[in-house]
A and B are shown apart, each in its own frame.
Chain A
């Protein structure tokens, strides 16, 4: 608890730098990463991040010391060059994009390792800490760097505000953007440059291997909570900044561990949670929805089958027979376990009533059963009248749609076909 208080009260001025840094870095990368995600170019961020390493080393060799601005400049150049090379390979050979990314990523990274070991062995003074760029050392962020990161965030924010509509258009439909005369190439160039900027700003805190997570993951997590781009941007930033701060805190309390892995781990857990529990498109929600539908379909099918059973014996008017599951199986094929489960549910819901030797329909059950059969047959008649579908094939369509036809559509169908009551003909 004490360490937590120390942490949030900025007792250590470094902590403030780390948090401010995390806010800037994570916001920049989440914002621009959302567009990369929508353009299905998430892995480009991966190539860029790995390609920053040789740039940093070259910057160091050029400057002879660790002045951030040189390292940053070198990183920006090689990062940008890597995206150029990926595009070059894809356009000029039969190599596919993901392989091109892999090639650029690993050769640049290898070059970075070569340069790094070269610097280590060449006896440069004060080269210690360059290693930090591999895995990230957020604690090393200082005041000047905060200004730089804030400036980058500002540039990205301004660019997104100014070019918001063009960015949206290009992210969703680049061909259309081209056709209405937008300078797509220039705007894509701008987006790429901003991605490189954002990636380069995070390299010190996150390290080259994990930086790409800040580009990809927030957008993917935010996607589960909204279908609106503006909200997606905000949610992505919130997730990313939150995990940045939590990651920095964990790394602060466990001094031996680098920041990058913790930030990425927290962010990934948020994403995992998002896609399981999200109410919109999470797998849990999807699963429950599918289960609910399945149960509804089963119930409605059983009620329909009871109606058919009576109809075959000419009892469609009263529907009062006492039935057993076996009777239903004589009309329609069921999985017996499912059938029994469905009957139990229907009894509980008051559509069926249990008798000594089986079950019988309640008044509600009769209404519901008639409704389903009626919808089924209305739809079949509709298909026969309005489409060229053969009478042999209308049944399967109706079988699916009977469960989702609303009362409004039912009225429409009635009006269209001029049918009152339940049509007697089944197909």
Chain B
């Protein structure tokens, strides 16, 4: 039963990340997602420090703000300080991550709830220790599962209601501006959701590996998708597939579960890329093979 809960919880993480990842990728902001996921670390540490509790909802929302702040800092560095975009991402997230790690090593002395390895890859195998039990014996599943469900509901509602806004923002920001849409508002809404996903799934997959869930499945779907809904669907499929295969691989090899999941996602990506290139090549060779009658014969060829 514990096994099933792990897979279900991780699948919801993958689903959340896949949905948001699609929009991030289309906005060419994959690395901003990476930056946010690292940058929420100080927020999380402060939240844990103040509450002494991993699950205090309000403080998790506070940590979410850190991620939004990070995306704001990146914008600020590239617009006001005129540091080029990629460098401002690199500077912002390494700084915030470093601050977070310093906080862990100085403020969290002896606190085993949050250590550095957990930051990197979470401890999904331990989620079953923190159960929700009603009436002393009715077992309702691990707490992490419910946190993920809450995140899924928030993301589902936001994307569902704002689908058109997110869509036009992702494909053509200038057009959205011309229509009079406040693109800034949608941009920061997206950043907030990304930050929320990272914070909420921190306990399960850690701050670094969540990037794998955010970027890889959507990128795999992007390789062959031509419609946004198609991309969203396949990204979710690849995400959940990676979770299931990765889990059993990890159990079989006795290695880190989250690590195995993201590794499988990466392998999926390269497999799809190679298959697609093979298919493309075949298609090209059948479609574009010049038929006999239009093959130009060199004028002064000697036959």
Give CA–CA (A177, B120) in the complex, Å: 42
Give CA–CA (A134, B97) in the complex, Å: 13
**Segment of B30-38, B56-64, B173-181 in the binding face:** B30-38
**Segment of B155-163, B195-203, B251-259 in the binding face:** B251-259
Contact present for B97 and A209 (CB under 8 Å): yes
Contact present for A268 and B91 (CB under 8 Å): yes
* Residues from chain B with Cβ under 8 Å of A92 in the complex: 273, 277
Determine whether A101 belongs to the interface, using a CB cutoff of 8 Å to chain B. Answer: yes
In the complex, residue of chain B having the shortest beta-carbon distance to the beta carbon of A41: B86
Give CA–CA (A257, B83) in the complex, Å: 30
Contact present for B211 and A102 (CB under 8 Å): yes
Contact present for A264 and B94 (CB under 8 Å): yes
Contact present for A106 and B266 (CB under 8 Å): yes
Q: Given A105-B211, A106-B215, does the pair A212, B34 have CB atoms closer than 8 Å?
A: no
Known: A106-B216, A220-B83. 11 other contacts (CB 8 A): A42-B86, A45-B90, A46-B90, A94-B223, A102-B34, A107-B267, A110-B259, A110-B263, A114-B253, A134-B120, A215-B90
Contact present for B90 and A216 (CB under 8 Å): yes
Give CA–CA (A114, B82) in the complex, Å: 39
Determine whether B51 belongs to the interface, using a CB cutoff of 8 Å to chain A. Answer: no
Determine whether A117 belongs to the interface, using a CB cutoff of 8 Å to chain B. Answer: yes
Q: Given A102-B215, A107-B265, A217-B91, does the pair A257, B38 have CB atoms closer than 8 Å?
A: no
* Residues from chain A with Cβ under 8 Å of B47 in the complex: none
**Segment of B99-107, B126-134, B137-145, B291-299 in the binding face:** B99-107
Give CA–CA (A116, B256) in the complex, Å: 8
Contact present for B98 and A110 (CB under 8 Å): no
Contact present for A134 and B116 (CB under 8 Å): yes
Contact present for B80 and A283 (CB under 8 Å): yes
Give CA–CA (A312, B267) in the complex, Å: 79
Please pick, from A93, A103, A111, A268, the residue contacting B94 in the complex, using a CB distance under 8 A. Answer: A268
* Residues from chain A with Cβ under 8 Å of B97 in the complex: 209-210, 261, 264
Contact present for B259 and A261 (CB under 8 Å): no
Determine whether B10 belongs to the interface, using a CB cutoff of 8 Å to chain A. Answer: no
Determine whether B84 belongs to the interface, using a CB cutoff of 8 Å to chain A. Answer: yes
Determine whether B269 belongs to the interface, using a CB cutoff of 8 Å to chain A. Answer: yes
Q: 28 pairs across A/B with beta carbons < 8 Å?
A: A40-B84, A42-B86, A43-B89, A45-B90, A102-B30, A102-B34, A102-B216, A105-B211, A106-B211, A107-B269, A108-B266, A110-B260, A111-B259, A113-B209, A113-B255, A113-B258, A114-B250, A117-B255, A118-B253, A121-B254, A213-B95, A216-B90, A216-B91, A217-B94, A256-B106, A256-B109, A257-B106, A283-B80
Contact present for A261 and B101 (CB under 8 Å): yes
Which residues of A are in contact with B by a Cβ distance under 8 Å? 37, 40-43, 45-46, 89, 92-96, 98-103, 105-118, 121, 131, 134-135, 209-210, 212-213, 215-217, 219-220, 223-224, 254, 256-258, 260-262, 264-265, 268, 271, 275, 281-283
Contact present for A107 and B120 (CB under 8 Å): no
Helix, strand, loop or mixed for chain A's interface? helix
Contact present for B95 and A96 (CB under 8 Å): no
Which residues of B are in contact with A by a Cβ distance under 8 Å? 25, 28-31, 33-34, 38, 77, 80-84, 86-91, 94-95, 97-99, 101-102, 105-106, 109, 116-117, 120-121, 208-209, 211-212, 214-216, 219, 222-223, 250, 253-256, 258-263, 265-267, 269, 273, 276-277
* Residues from chain B with Cβ under 8 Å of A118 in the complex: 253-255
Q: Would you give the shortest CB distance from A334 to chain B, in whole angstroms?
A: 28
Contact present for B223 and A93 (CB under 8 Å): yes
Give CA–CA (A213, B39) in the complex, Å: 14
Contact present for A261 and B99 (CB under 8 Å): yes
* Residues from chain A with Cβ under 8 Å of B266 in the complex: 103, 106-108, 110-111
* Residues from chain B with Cβ under 8 Å of A220 in the complex: 83, 87-88, 90-91
Q: Would you give the shortest CB distance from A209 to chain B, in whole angstroms?
A: 6
Q: Would you give the shortest CB distance from A150 to chain B, in whole angstroms?
A: 25
Please pick, from A37, A114, A264, the residue contacting B255 in the complex, using a CB distance under 8 A. Answer: A114
Contact present for B82 and A262 (CB under 8 Å): no
Contact present for B269 and A103 (CB under 8 Å): yes
Contact present for A217 and B90 (CB under 8 Å): yes
Give CA–CA (A217, B95) in the complex, Å: 10
Q: Would you give the shortest CB distance from B268 to chain A, in whole angstroms?
A: 9
Instruction: Name which of A92, A111, A209, A215 has the most chain B CB atoms within 10 A of its CB.
Output: A209
Contact present for B86 and A107 (CB under 8 Å): no
Contact present for B87 and A219 (CB under 8 Å): yes
Contact present for A254 and B90 (CB under 8 Å): no
Q: Would you give the shortest CB distance from A179 to chain B, in whole angstroms?
A: 24
Give CA–CA (A224, B263) in the complex, Å: 40
Give CA–CA (A300, B21) in the complex, Å: 53
Contact present for B109 and A268 (CB under 8 Å): no
Q: Would you give the shortest CB distance from B27 to chain A, in whole angstroms?
A: 10
Give CA–CA (A311, B230) in the complex, Å: 70
Contact present for A42 and B87 (CB under 8 Å): yes
Contact present for A101 and B208 (CB under 8 Å): no
Q: Would you give the shortest CB distance from A261 to chain B, in whole angstroms?
A: 4
Contact present for B212 and A216 (CB under 8 Å): no
Contact present for B98 and A210 (CB under 8 Å): yes
In the complex, residue of chain A having the shortest beta-carbon distance to the beta carbon of B262: A110
Please pick, from A117, A134, A257, the residue contacting B259 in the complex, using a CB distance under 8 A. Answer: A117
Please pick, from B208, B256, B265, the residue contacting A117 in the complex, using a CB distance under 8 A. Answer: B256
Please pick, from A95, A216, A254, A264, the residue contacting B106 in the complex, using a CB distance under 8 A. Answer: A254
Give CA–CA (A267, B171) in the complex, Å: 37
Please pick, from A41, A96, A115, A265, the residue contacting B28 in the complex, using a CB distance under 8 A. Answer: A96
Give CA–CA (A112, B120) in the complex, Å: 11
* Residues from chain B with Cβ under 8 Å of A99 in the complex: 25, 28, 30-31, 215, 219, 222
Give 9 closest A-B pairs by Cβ, nearest first.
A107-B266, A113-B259, A110-B262, A106-B212, A213-B94, A268-B95, A216-B90, A99-B30, A264-B98
Give CA–CA (A106, B209) in the complex, Å: 6
Contact present for B209 and A109 (CB under 8 Å): yes
